[in-house]
Amino acid sequence: MTLVLGLKTLWLLAFGSLSNTLAVNNSGRWWGIVNIASSSNLLTDSKYVQLVLDPSLQLLSRKQRKLIRQNPGILHSITGGVQSAIRECKWQFRNRRWNCPTSQSSNIFGKIVNRGCRETAFIFALTSAAVTHSVSRSCSEGSIESCTCDYRRRGPGGPDWHWGGCSDNIDFGRVFGREFVDSSERGRDLRYLTNLHNNEAGRLTVHAEMRQECKCHGMSGSCTVKTCWMRLPTFRTVGNLLKDRFDGASRVIYSNKGSNRASRVDMRHLEPENPAHKPHSPQDLVYFEKSPNFCTANSKIGTTGTTGRVCNNTSLGLDGCDLLCCGRGFRTLTERVTERCHCTFHWCCHVSCLNCTTTQTLHECL
Ligand SMILES: *[C@@H]1O[C@H](CO)[C@@H](O)[C@H](O)[C@H]1NC(C)=O
Ligand SMILES: *[C@@H]1O[C@H](CO)[C@@H](O)[C@H](O)[C@H]1NC(C)=O
Ligand SMILES: *[C@@H]1O[C@H](CO)[C@@H](O)[C@H](O)[C@H]1NC(C)=O
Ligand SMILES: *[C@@H]1O[C@H](CO)[C@@H](O)[C@H](O)[C@H]1NC(C)=O
């Protein structure tokens, strides 16, 4: 009992009083929990103490810490989501001047987060989508105490099938994502509206890609009985779609046109910068500022530049040396690579290989 009380006090200390000592500017700070030492929360007392003392948790707002306390198991799911988002971001942008650089510091994505360009929009949408995706899946895997599979679809769904099995809990994932992710945004300005819009676009993308999966039962696959459930898309599918929306993102401005004191309706919203463009849809990404060119390192903007990046000397695309190196040219390196080759299997059970050395040519931006 004393131990429990002691832990509770410790918890309150660490989780209660630290809030509001943070900078006003909380945008995306929660991503820092990806560095958390022990994300398997509340398993054992010693892990519990470790977790409470983990500095990464101080990146969360009071509301975010409360949500984590109320949903045991969810911290692990959120950090897993942020990890997928980082991997996916790097993969989608591997051939571009901005290749989603990240750091181990608490500010994972760097200063680009405080801008309002397309890359910023992509990061917000992707990380928001990742939390919804990961939490929805964790619910159906049974690793969060406060949610389960979505069992609301029941009974016959059509003439030859009925709902059954375990649907991924996208509704829980969306509601939780909105509460948790959006709560790190403050203000009423253009940046706030833009970040919230892109967060929601990410969640909507996951929701829109839910698909029905079915399984046949009955004698030797005769499919006399078919049960179906709803399944999340792969996170790659979400990444591909958000990358397309990055390419087609809409530049917006802040508008309070139509704001009417008498009706007391808050009409502040985003509209296309160019009135000739059609308004963005809820799933489109929006931005309000031109991207930096990403060619040269600039610590003020937080860009690392493309010097040293590997480019493709025959490609005319973004990964080609011309574009990737921003016209600075490139150098050619040869590397000797030794690999295991001509492997043979000997009965039983042993594999022997030869070492083959090949020469690889690489091109690197100056
Ligand atoms: C947030 O902080 C960054 C610097 O860390 C600053 O450039 C940016 O303008 C701030 N944003 C807001 C909304 O205060
Ligand atoms: C380089 O670009 C060419 C043309 O786009 C492509 O066919 C080739 O596979 C690329 N090479 C590498 C190593 O990616
Ligand atoms: C291949 O290289 C490894 C270490 O690089 C070495 O241990 C091994 O003996 C080599 N195998 C042959 C068949 O030369
Ligand atoms: C591109 O590099 C390869 C070696 O990787 C070389 O054989 C080829 O001539 C180069 N092509 C051009 C257009 O420079």
Contact (Cβ atoms closer than 8 angstroms) between residue 80 and residue 4: no
Q: Is the CB of 314 under 6 A from ligand 2?
A: yes
Contact (Cβ atoms closer than 8 angstroms) between residue 116 and residue 247: no
- Using CB atoms within 10 Å of the CB of residue 243, give its burial: 0 to 12 exposed, 13 to 18 middle, 19+ buried: middle
Distance from C-alpha of 189 to C-alpha of 199, rounded to nearest angstrom: 16
Nearest ligand to the CA atom of 341:
3
- Distances in whole angstroms, Cα of residue 71 to Cα of each of 48, 152, 182: 14, 20, 17
For residue 313, how far is its CA from the centre of ligand 4 (angstroms)?
Answer: 6
pLDDT tens readout for residues 120-132: 999 999 999 999 9
For residue 336, how far is its CA from the centre of ligand 2 (angstroms)?
Answer: 20
Q: Is the CB of 357 under 6 A from ligand 3?
A: no
Q: Is the CB of 354 under 6 A from ligand 3?
A: yes
Mean pLDDT of 277-300: 94
For the domain made up of 321-365, the CATH class stated in words is: alpha beta
φ/ψ of residue 206, rounded to 5? -65, -45
pLDDT tens readout for residues 49-80: 555 667 778 888 889 989 998 999 999 999 99
Does residue 12 have a pLDDT over 60?
no
Nearest CA to ligand 1 atom 1: 25
Average pLDDT, the chain: 86
For residue 92, how far is its CA from the centre of ligand 4 (angstroms)?
Answer: 26
Does residue 310 have a pLDDT over 80?
yes
Q: Is the CB of 352 under 6 A from ligand 4?
A: no
Nearest CA to ligand 2 atom 6: 315
Does residue 3 have a pLDDT over 70?
no
Does residue 353 have a pLDDT over 60?
yes
For residue 270, how far is its CA from the centre of ligand 2 (angstroms)?
Answer: 40
pTM for the whole structure: 0.84
Say how many C-beta atoms besides its own lie within 10 A of residue 358's C-beta: 10
Between residues 127 and 269, the one the model is more confident about = 127
For residue 353, how far is its CA from the centre of ligand 3 (angstroms)?
Answer: 8
Burial 284-310 (b: 16+ CB within 10 A, else e): bbbbbeebbebbeeeeebbbbbbeebe
Q: Is the CB of 315 under 6 A from ligand 2?
A: yes
Q: Is the CB of 114 under 6 A from ligand 2?
A: no
pLDDT at 26 (0 to 100): 75
Does residue 8 have a pLDDT over 90?
no
- The H or E element spanning position 4 is helix 2-11
Nearest ligand to the CA atom of 343:
3
Q: Is the CB of 106 under 6 A from ligand 2?
A: no
Say how many C-beta atoms besides its own lie within 10 A of residue 317's C-beta: 11
Distance from C-alpha of 167 to C-alpha of 231, rounded to nearest angstrom: 6
In testing the pocket of ligand 2, which one of 312, 318, 337 has its CB within 8 Å of the most ligand atoms?
312
Tell me which residues have their CB closer than 6 angstroms to ligand 1. Answer: 25, 114, 191
Does residue 19 have a pLDDT over 60?
no
In testing the pocket of ligand 2, which one of 309, 315, 337, 362 has its CB within 8 Å of the most ligand atoms?
315
For residue 143, how far is its CA from the centre of ligand 2 (angstroms)?
Answer: 43
Please state the domain extents for the chain: 2-291, 321-365
Nearest ligand to the CA atom of 355:
3
In testing the pocket of ligand 3, which one of 336, 338, 351, 355 has its CB within 8 Å of the most ligand atoms?
355
Q: Is the CB of 313 under 6 A from ligand 4?
A: yes
For residue 345, how far is its CA from the centre of ligand 1 (angstroms)?
Answer: 60
Ligand 3 nearest atom to the CA of residue 353, by list position: 13
Which residues on neighbouring strands pair with residue 254, listed in sequence order? 270
Tokens describing residue 8: 């509770």
Between residues 45 and 161, the one the model is more confident about = 161
